[in-house]
Structure 1
């Protein structure tokens, strides 16, 4: 039996696609082995979000070749798209597979086996209008299933290469998503996490052109809120998944801040299975920097969205991403961003010192000193640690629940740990519990600095 090994770099979308390719290869008779083992085929699902990601992708491709000189080495995904003009020169690679071709991986490998000539399967991703359909029946994570529902991005932030490697927005048909979730529910999965390259754009390509133009000018007025909800495909998708028997939680990935409008949030608050964990990518709390990034909102507009979420949800978890040291960011600009982060009081802030991504507008802008970027990141990290502790402490005394995931032993006592709907890590004394059990109770204290203790009802 031939063997295949996978390695995934980058985002949850890549992880989903790797799971799908793995199941396709297994169905074709291949045995999947760990990437560190000798295999007949190595498939590296690459990332290109930064220059560092490009380098890691190349390193993993070269590592695969060293593990077995006679193996078939496949480079797939975003690095392939960003480096398509020069990747042919890499002698470590036998097959090059761009985005929107991964579902044909078995045929692609079979074709190579017939002629042993280096093949390149890349379409013009920027002209692609069809969603690449996958279907998975199992996930390596035994409790939550990440489901890809959308691909591509139309935003063109000045620091981001993704619109060029993933193409324009393409949405998966709702009936296909529902069928997949039903199958996963039948297999025992209780939590579904919706993910995509630009999740907030789900369904935009289903709508008529005139509506798309109106969407671009959407403002937070009562009238536009009504229009948004009646047309919003993402909200409809969440509602439909929540109605599937066996599904107890629906979680969403990163959202575009502009989608946070009153009727959208109000409608979400009425879905009992919806997890009030909102990841809103801020990137900067300084309006000047936001404009330079080509982010299409102001800090005040972002904050209005945060207030709406807190109006309709009791103690929701709001998390974010921040880039420090973006080209042209002065100390004054950073201070404005820092003050905004303190004002919002995010549960968690993912902090990224700006990293040059060749092929983007920001790469040609005046750069900030590396040491200054590190100092700014450290300042925000201190705020992040403080906010995390305060948010966890605010949960003490509340009724809550966790989805059991894994055993944790402290001072000789065995606990089951998992996450609340707000994605706060919690532990409960293990009393014949098992993975995937949902346990309700009251949060009584800290078990460790980052794990809360739940007392079972």
Structure 2
């Protein structure tokens, strides 16, 4: 192990994975590893996987094959959601040396020290029910913007989703520790922090601890739910504290469930100088029938209310939407309901996912199955709608002066930045603008 001193990373999936990969990188760098680009030769390659779509699984296999061709003597470590869900399947991929499940990913330095190339593939995993700790993580690829994980796991059981099986029950960081991380990020020059989690709105650290769960059980038996000395921390109390924190100038809330996006959160953001007018709210379907089959915890009427309040208080606010097409049982009429509902909403863009079958999910039992060709066609229609929505949203702000945070990457002599309400601005690269917030005429 003493000779293996270079490491390269590749991340599949969500912002949460990117924050964790960055933390894994810092762990190994603290142990003396030199970080390399994934396309470079390295002694260790770490792939942090996703398992939301089949493509992520296939891409993991392709990446391992690529490493085998380029660096057959390198150690290959697979972690992330796919590693938790199907560790034996991953261990069977030629070239994989170490598989780390949800509870072991942050023990990577310990496990790497115990194995050698040529050993039998080591699987370090556990029953997801036993995963009950929270490890904070954040991305720090440049000084401009970082993704900070404040919550992990999910207690919801949507019929299409494997995330609870891959990441375990909902658990969160403490507000005190989040504030400490914010101070550290501010000292590193970070100007914008994106709060991330699996079910971000379910942030509630006190009741996530073993002691807290006992308190929670007692609370259910007390009509007024009052216990002396108990002050529950929740997502609203978190953002109020962050709004007062010094150093970081901008915060964004990543994906938040519509039933957890309360009126008080929306009203708070509308008055805040630090929280950006930008929400990403999963819808998944505009048909109440399909929402019920998906086991979502709201109906389209509540979703429309949330969007309506946001746009009433913040007409300039950017709203992104997740939607799934081709869910089992989704008829042409159900899809039309979704399309028409999205068309009617004052939203800004869509993230469109084509439904793919996932093992051990309730959705596998639902019929009829939507043909792949029809799923793809529906995806195309919604992506076209997304393009039109974003064009319309941007045009509404042409000529307006908005605050833009410019990033440090040069792409063919150009640089990018985002307005407070998430409109992308592209200009010729100017080093003086890097990591600076400037007033810009759109």
What TM-score, normalized to structure 2?
A: 0.89
Does the 8 A contact of 1:65 with 1:73 survive in 2?
Answer: no
SS of the counterpart of 1:280? strand
Does the 8 A contact of 1:279 with 1:319 survive in 2?
Answer: yes
Partner of 1:62: 65
Partner of 1:165: 166
Does the 8 A contact of 1:100 with 1:131 survive in 2?
Answer: no
Q: Are residues 72 and 417 of structure 1, via their aligned partners in 2, closer, same or farther at CA, if it must alter by over 3 Å?
A: closer
Partner of 1:448: none
SS of the counterpart of 1:433? helix
Matches within 5 A, 1:108-187: 108-113=111-116, 116-134=119-137, 139-187=140-188
Does the 8 A contact of 2:204 with 2:232 survive in 1?
Answer: no
1:364 is displaced (CA, Å) by 3.2
- When structure 1 is superposed on structure 2, of 248-257 and 366-375 the one drifting more is 366-375
- Deviations along 1:429-454, whole A, 9 cap, x unmatched? 8777321111114x3xxxxxxxxx3x
Q: State whether structure 2 residue 26 is matched by structure 1 residue 23.
A: yes
- When structure 1 is superposed on structure 2, of 267-276 and 61-70 the one drifting more is 61-70
Please give the alpha-carbon distance, in whole angstroms, between the structure 1 residues aligned to 2:392 and 2:188: 37
Please give the alpha-carbon distance, in whole angstroms, between the structure 1 residues aligned to 2:219 and 2:295: 19
C-alpha root-mean-square deviation of aligned residues, in Å? 2.6
1:415 is displaced (CA, Å) by 7.0
Q: Are residues 37 and 372 of structure 1, via their aligned partners in 2, closer, same or farther at CA, if it must alter by over 3 Å?
A: same
Does the 8 A contact of 1:278 with 1:319 survive in 2?
Answer: yes
Please give the alpha-carbon distance, in whole angstroms, between the structure 1 residues aligned to 2:405 and 2:52: 32
Does the 8 A contact of 2:408 with 2:435 survive in 1?
Answer: no
SS of the counterpart of 1:282? strand
Gaps of 5+ in 1: 215-222, 224-229, 444-452
Does the 8 A contact of 2:73 with 2:117 survive in 1?
Answer: no
Please give the alpha-carbon distance, in whole angstroms, between the structure 1 residues aligned to 2:277 and 2:259: 17
1:13 is displaced (CA, Å) by 1.1
Please give the alpha-carbon distance, in whole angstroms, between the structure 1 residues aligned to 2:365 and 2:420: 42
Please give the alpha-carbon distance, in whole angstroms, between the structure 2 residues aligned to 1:267 and 1:179: 22
Please give the alpha-carbon distance, in whole angstroms, between the structure 1 residues aligned to 2:263 and 2:92: 52
Please give the alpha-carbon distance, in whole angstroms, between the structure 2 residues aligned to 1:435 and 1:112: 42
- Deviations along 1:97-152, whole A, 9 cap, x unmatched? 11131221111101114994532211222232211344x6x711331011011110
User: How many residues matched?
Assistant: 425
Does the 8 A contact of 2:204 with 2:235 survive in 1?
Answer: yes
Partner of 2:104: 101
Please give the alpha-carbon distance, in whole angstroms, between the structure 1 residues aligned to 2:168 and 2:290: 25
- Deviations along 1:183-240, whole A, 9 cap, x unmatched? 11011111011001111111164464259879xxxxxxxx9xxxxxx95621222222
Please give the alpha-carbon distance, in whole angstroms, between the structure 2 residues aligned to 1:263 and 1:133: 26
Partner of 2:263: 262
Partner of 2:406: 404
SS of the counterpart of 1:23? helix
- Deviations along 1:273-321, whole A, 9 cap, x unmatched? 1011100000110000111111111111111111121232232111101
Does the 8 A contact of 2:75 with 2:117 survive in 1?
Answer: no
- Deviations along 1:233-275, whole A, 9 cap, x unmatched? 2122222223222211011110000022222222232221101
Please give the alpha-carbon distance, in whole angstroms, between the structure 2 residues aligned to 1:121 and 1:289: 38
Partner of 2:334: 333
Partner of 2:418: 419
Please give the alpha-carbon distance, in whole angstroms, between the structure 2 residues aligned to 1:160 and 1:315: 33
SS of the counterpart of 1:76? strand
1:367 is displaced (CA, Å) by 1.2
Please give the alpha-carbon distance, in whole angstroms, between the structure 2 residues aligned to 1:127 and 1:415: 48
Please give the alpha-carbon distance, in whole angstroms, between the structure 1 residues aligned to 2:411 and 2:328: 46
SS of the counterpart of 1:112? coil
Does the 8 A contact of 1:126 with 1:166 survive in 2?
Answer: no
